[in-house]
Chain A
Amino acid sequence: MPGESVFPALEPLLEQVSKPIQYVGGELNSTVKPWEVAGDETVRWALMYPDAYEVGVPNQGVMILYEVLNERPDALAERTYAVWPDLEALMREHGVPQFTVDGHRPVGDFDVFGLSFSTELGYTNMLTALDLAGIPLHAADRDDSHPVVVAGGHAAFNPEPVAHFLDAAIIGDGEEAVLAVTDIVGDWKREGRPGGREELLLRLARTGGVYVPRFYDVTYLPDGRIQRVAPNRPGVPWRVSKHTVMDLDAWPYPKQPLVPLAESVHERMSVEIFRGCTRGCRFCQAGMITRPVRERSITGIGEMVEQGLAATGFEEVGLLSLSSADHSEIADVTKGLADRYEGTNTGLSLPSTRVDAFNIDLANELTRNGRRSGLTFAPEGGSERIRKVINKMVSEEDLIRTVAAAYGAGWRQVKLYFMCGLPTETDEDVLQIAELAKKVIETGREVSGRRDIRCTVSIGGFVPKPHTPFQWAAQLGADETDARLEKLRDAIRSDKRYGRSIGFRYHDGKPGVVEGLLSRGDRRVGRVIEAVWRGGGRFDGWSEHFSYDRWVAAAEQALDDEPVDLAWYTTREREESEVLPWDHIDSGLDKEWLWQDWLDALDETEVEDCRWTPCFDCGVCPQMGTEIEIGPTGKTLLPLTVLGSGRERMAEHAH
């Protein structure tokens, strides 16, 4: 029977695998609805975060969609994650299909199989899940009995490398979009599934907000570049628009955050305080594709923190966004929350902060009575010149002033994040990082009067991303990246006066090259992904599973009869006139504006944040019919009695 639990077959296998708790479900605030909750017409979603459970379970996107779908009486949603190779082998041996952790139902029984891709490195895990679910890998081979496979998340802004595996992709904010898709699927089922799968996909495509790859033909020029991407069915739009939720206060999700038993990568509750960022850092895909800025109000934040803590019992709350200190009322938010939760052993954190002394005040407020161990800043580029190229408007003076404030307030360790391989970068730009780190330590020793303060430099290779001004840029090759990082390491270690005070962490260049291939690839890259997966590729985001050689070999073999190769996709600079694989995906950004911003980058010209200066015509607001939504609201968080409710009835005299 469809929807029947496979747990009886799975349970004996769990005795033989590592961390079995990740496969049993039953998380606090999880939901298992009856399979026929709204009869035959129930719209059933299996939602996957295509990585290990410990990474996937805290993901906000999946948690939000899971909750909004399950709130609907005519729909149900369950979650599934990538199984580790030990369980995968046992599932194949014993014929157990890919299952959801909620009802342990076969993923192949659902109507829609939705995957959220935060990163391209989850593509091989998608293929494992499809295969274990008994769903044909290629969308063209599926029939009416198979779920509609839909991708979302940031990586879906260029779905072309996985176009052959997907039935559809949804671009942008998911919470309203999944409800619209549920309506369409529900109507089609109620009408008796007219026209089968093809008709359903056509209905989705004709909304203009769902990309269905099979309805677009791609033709290529003899040299390998794309000639044209054109719809091949009437009513299917030339470009597919992203979705934008305008009023965050109307979407206070997750209201009931999941609390897993198993350990996860984020042992805290998160509240998204705003979405979008207009700082304009040119390397940052997230900042470009999530425009415009939409703030949650201070009172909305207060309510979500209060309800979330009561629903979960978490001891820490993270205030999430792309640059949390930029909320128009962040000082009142942090002070209000710190006051409310004083004395309750509840921690507060701001995960993304800028190089700005104002941030130290916020961090001090949040750790009033907690330990001050480390603060993290991201100057991203080592020299003043390269920071102008990337539009990270931070001067060396800003950084030194900021770290002085941090060490002065009792922080012992400062972490600095950088990238290597940025456009126009030379060895000299990267070697400046060593000089910067030394100045940071000198400043820290001076203001704190201590020798035991530390600074850690963390650096990884830059990967150019679609829908950014750097989408045309040449990526630095793996060997060149590694050579540059080695020079930096030597420069840091050579000076004995700082040797032990400066830590150095880096990621080698190889995974970045594969990420580059998957980020800016076109439909032909799908063959490479499939070849890697067939060769055993899994969990590419995990260094112990990632194999660069396997990717290089697969690319050579799979692209053998094409005029393109791995280097063509990664280290080649593109021309203005080139049709990019994602041009038909409308993120709202004007391609001409992006090109102008690319030229400005090469000229080392900075562009301000449009929240506080006039519009720079990036194109998003007019094209998407949106606008910047920010405060201040002028409201404050009132004092609140927290975590006291249980005490009354437990007190001795009450009995």
Chain B
Amino acid sequence: MARQRTPEGPPPPPAVQKLRIRYAKRGRLRFSSTRDFSRALERALRRAGVPMAFSAGFHPHPLISYANAAPTGTASEAEYLEIRLAERVAPEAVRDALDEALPDGLDVLEVREAAPGALADRLEASEWEVRLRGVRPPQVEPALAAYLALERAETTRVVKSGPRTFDTREPVLDLRVAGVGEDGCAILRMVVRHTTPSVRPDDILTALRAVTGLAPPVPPLVTRLAQGPLRPDRAGVADPLATDEEVVGPEG
């Protein structure tokens, strides 16, 4: 008689180290989705030989947690994730090996030993850059003023459960023309608090269009510049990994 099979051999070695990783999504790889990235990361970890800790069971998977990934089509200089390892390693060496194993455009910027507490809790807000291709600053400034004068500016986006309508105005802490591109286009900078559902730059632009009629001729280029704990002046964010370094101290 056959019995229920259970995995043979010892359970997988326990995790002994937790690393937090900041990476960038650049150039044409901004078109990669969260799932695309996670597949690429798992393969890169294997190629680089990072001694990952695995879950138990018939289908062990490497212990990786993702936090608040930027949507497909959006570039980012500040994406975060956490990995757990079965052997202690030097974070700098992991940074180099992993960056080399990932395709160009998915670039590992920083690897730090994790401090206690959840990474997700530290990602309170994001700073975004939006290049409005084909729109000049004088066209956009009055529209921003009109939007910022509002108390609420609703938009509707189709999410997994269907269309959902939500306010975009309240989470916007800062919104201004921060520069002009080489082609003369307006470059916006936004500071947006993380909410549920999350308000993304394209939601804000959709609301802006509904309120002011501002419609760029080509889709804008959106880049997340930073995410982290909100600074006390609410005009930007601090480094979410910085505290880790302080807590872990010089012996890390």
Whether A371 contacts B47 by the Cβ 8 Å rule is no
**Interface: B199 (CB within 8 A):** no
Among A85-136, those with CB < 8 Å from B are none
Query: Which stretch in B50-58, B117-125, B159-167 binds the other chain?
Result: B50-58
Whether A410 contacts B5 by the Cβ 8 Å rule is yes
Bits for B67-94, please: 1 = Cβ < 8 Å to A, else 0: 0000011000000000000011110111
Among A506-551, those with CB < 8 Å from B are none
Query: Which stretch in B25-33, B168-176, B205-213 binds the other chain?
Result: B25-33
**Interface: B40 (CB within 8 A):** yes
Whether A643 contacts B103 by the Cβ 8 Å rule is no
Query: Which stretch in A13-21, A69-77, A174-182 binds the other chain?
Result: A13-21
Q: Which of B31, B46, B93 contacts A654 (CB 8 A)?
A: B93
| Bound Cα distance from A315 to B47, whole angstroms | 10
What residues of A have a CB within 8 angstroms of the CB of B231 in the complex?
none
**Interface: A651 (CB within 8 A):** yes
Whether A370 contacts B47 by the Cβ 8 Å rule is no
Q: Which of B31, B54, B133 contacts A21 (CB 8 A)?
A: B31
| Bound Cα distance from A636 to B40, whole angstroms | 33
Whether A20 contacts B31 by the Cβ 8 Å rule is yes
Among B37-71, those with CB < 8 Å from A are 37, 39-40, 42-51, 54, 58-60
Query: Which stretch in A244-252, A258-266, A480-488 binds the other chain?
Result: A258-266
Distance of A315 from chain B, by nearest CB (Å): 7
CB-based nearest B residue for A11: B28
Say whether, besides A26-B29, A261-B29, A644 and B49 are in contact (CB < 8 Å): yes
Q: Which of B28, B39, B101 contacts A263 (CB 8 A)?
A: B39
Q: Which of A26, A262, A369 contacts B103 (CB 8 A)?
A: A26
**Interface: B245 (CB within 8 A):** no
Q: Which of A24, A28, A267, A343 contacts B31 (CB 8 A)?
A: A24
Q: Which of A26, A314, A643 contacts B105 (CB 8 A)?
A: A26
Whether A15 contacts B73 by the Cβ 8 Å rule is yes
Q: Which of A25, A261, A652 contacts B90 (CB 8 A)?
A: A652
**Interface: A645 (CB within 8 A):** yes
**Interface: A407 (CB within 8 A):** yes
**Interface: A221 (CB within 8 A):** no
Say whether, besides A12-B218, A26-B103, A370 and B59 are in contact (CB < 8 Å): yes
Count of inter-chain pairs, beta carbons less than 8 A: 126
Q: Which of B36, B51, B87 contacts A261 (CB 8 A)?
A: B36
Among A307-357, those with CB < 8 Å from B are 309-315, 343, 345
Distance of B113 from chain A, by nearest CB (Å): 11
Whether B1 contacts A651 by the Cβ 8 Å rule is no
| Bound Cα distance from A262 to B101, whole angstroms | 17
**Interface: A650 (CB within 8 A):** yes
Bits for A499-511, please: 1 = Cβ < 8 Å to B, else 0: 0000000000000
Distance of A91 from chain B, by nearest CB (Å): 16
| Bound Cα distance from A646 to B94, whole angstroms | 9
Q: Which of A24, A315, A371, A649 contacts B46 (CB 8 A)?
A: A315
Question: What is the interface size of chain B, counting residues whose CB is below 8 A from a CB of the partner?
Answer: 49
Whether A372 contacts B5 by the Cβ 8 Å rule is yes
Whether B5 contacts A26 by the Cβ 8 Å rule is no
What residues of B have a CB within 8 angstroms of the CB of A259 in the complex?
40, 43
| Bound Cα distance from A94 to B2, whole angstroms | 63
Whether A261 contacts B28 by the Cβ 8 Å rule is no
Q: Which of A7, A16, A407, A645 contacts B28 (CB 8 A)?
A: A7
Whether A310 contacts B31 by the Cβ 8 Å rule is no
**Interface: A184 (CB within 8 A):** no
Q: Which of B3, B5, B60, B87 contacts A651 (CB 8 A)?
A: B87
Distance of B58 from chain A, by nearest CB (Å): 4
What residues of A have a CB within 8 angstroms of the CB of B4 in the complex?
410
**Interface: A496 (CB within 8 A):** no
Whether A650 contacts B36 by the Cβ 8 Å rule is no
**Interface: A59 (CB within 8 A):** no
Among B208-231, those with CB < 8 Å from A are 218-219
What residues of B have a CB within 8 angstroms of the CB of A312 in the complex?
43, 47
Whether A655 contacts B92 by the Cβ 8 Å rule is yes
What residues of B have a CB within 8 angstroms of the CB of A645 in the complex?
49
| Bound Cα distance from A309 to B5, whole angstroms | 28
Whether A20 contacts B49 by the Cβ 8 Å rule is no
Bits for B217-252, please: 1 = Cβ < 8 Å to A, else 0: 011000000000000000000000000000000000
Distance of B242 from chain A, by nearest CB (Å): 22
Distance of B183 from chain A, by nearest CB (Å): 12
What residues of A have a CB within 8 angstroms of the CB of B48 in the complex?
646, 650
| Bound Cα distance from A224 to B78, whole angstroms | 68
Say whether, besides A26-B105, A448-B2, A646-B48, A369 and B8 are in contact (CB < 8 Å): yes
Distance of A8 from chain B, by nearest CB (Å): 11
| Bound Cα distance from A309 to B46, whole angstroms | 9
Whether B33 contacts A21 by the Cβ 8 Å rule is yes
Whether B43 contacts A313 by the Cβ 8 Å rule is yes
What residues of B have a CB within 8 angstroms of the CB of A368 in the complex?
8
Whether B219 contacts A369 by the Cβ 8 Å rule is no
Among B102-124, those with CB < 8 Å from A are 103-105
Whether A26 contacts B45 by the Cβ 8 Å rule is no
Q: Which of A12, A26, A449 contacts B219 (CB 8 A)?
A: A12
| Bound Cα distance from A655 to B252, whole angstroms | 12
CB-based nearest A residue for B51: A647
Among A428-458, those with CB < 8 Å from B are 447-450
**Interface: B97 (CB within 8 A):** yes
CB-based nearest A residue for B47: A313
Whether A345 contacts B60 by the Cβ 8 Å rule is yes
CB-based nearest A residue for B57: A371
| Bound Cα distance from A504 to B86, whole angstroms | 44
CB-based nearest A residue for B41: A313
CB-based nearest B residue for A644: B49
Say whether, besides A20-B72, A313-B44, A647 and B49 are in contact (CB < 8 Å): yes
Q: Which of B28, B47, B72 contacts A310 (CB 8 A)?
A: B47
**Interface: B138 (CB within 8 A):** no
| Bound Cα distance from A23 to B31, whole angstroms | 9
What residues of A have a CB within 8 angstroms of the CB of B103 in the complex?
26-28, 261
What residues of B have a CB within 8 angstroms of the CB of A313 in the complex?
42-47, 101
| Bound Cα distance from A654 to B59, whole angstroms | 32
| Bound Cα distance from A646 to B28, whole angstroms | 28
**Interface: A286 (CB within 8 A):** no
| Bound Cα distance from A410 to B31, whole angstroms | 43
Bits for A374-411, please: 1 = Cβ < 8 Å to B, else 0: 00000000000000000000000000000000011110
What residues of A have a CB within 8 angstroms of the CB of B58 in the complex?
369-371
Whether B104 contacts A26 by the Cβ 8 Å rule is yes
Whether A650 contacts B28 by the Cβ 8 Å rule is no
Say whether, besides A26-B28, A312-B43, A447 and B2 are in contact (CB < 8 Å): yes
Among B173-209, those with CB < 8 Å from A are none
| Bound Cα distance from A654 to B88, whole angstroms | 11
Most chain B CB within 10 A, of A24, A407, A650, A655, is at: A650
| Bound Cα distance from A651 to B37, whole angstroms | 25
| Bound Cα distance from A377 to B203, whole angstroms | 51
Contacts A309-B46, A369-B58 known; list 15 others, CB within 8 Å: A16-B219, A24-B29, A24-B31, A28-B43, A261-B103, A313-B46, A313-B47, A314-B43, A314-B46, A315-B46, A410-B2, A646-B50, A646-B97, A649-B93, A650-B51
Chain A interfacial positions (CB closer than 8 Å to B): 7, 11-12, 14-16, 19-21, 23-28, 259, 261-263, 267, 309-315, 343, 345, 368-372, 407-410, 447-450, 643-647, 649-652, 654-655
26 A-B pairs with CB atoms under 8 Å apart are A12-B219, A14-B73, A20-B31, A20-B72, A21-B32, A21-B33, A21-B36, A24-B28, A24-B29, A26-B28, A26-B105, A259-B43, A263-B39, A313-B42, A313-B101, A345-B54, A368-B8, A369-B7, A370-B59, A447-B1, A449-B1, A450-B2, A650-B49, A650-B51, A655-B90, A655-B93
Q: Which 3 A-B pairs have the closest CB atoms?
A: A646-B49, A313-B43, A371-B58
Chain B interfacial positions (CB closer than 8 Å to A): 1-5, 7-9, 28-29, 31-33, 35-37, 39-40, 42-51, 54, 58-60, 72-73, 87-90, 92-94, 97, 101, 103-105, 133, 218-219
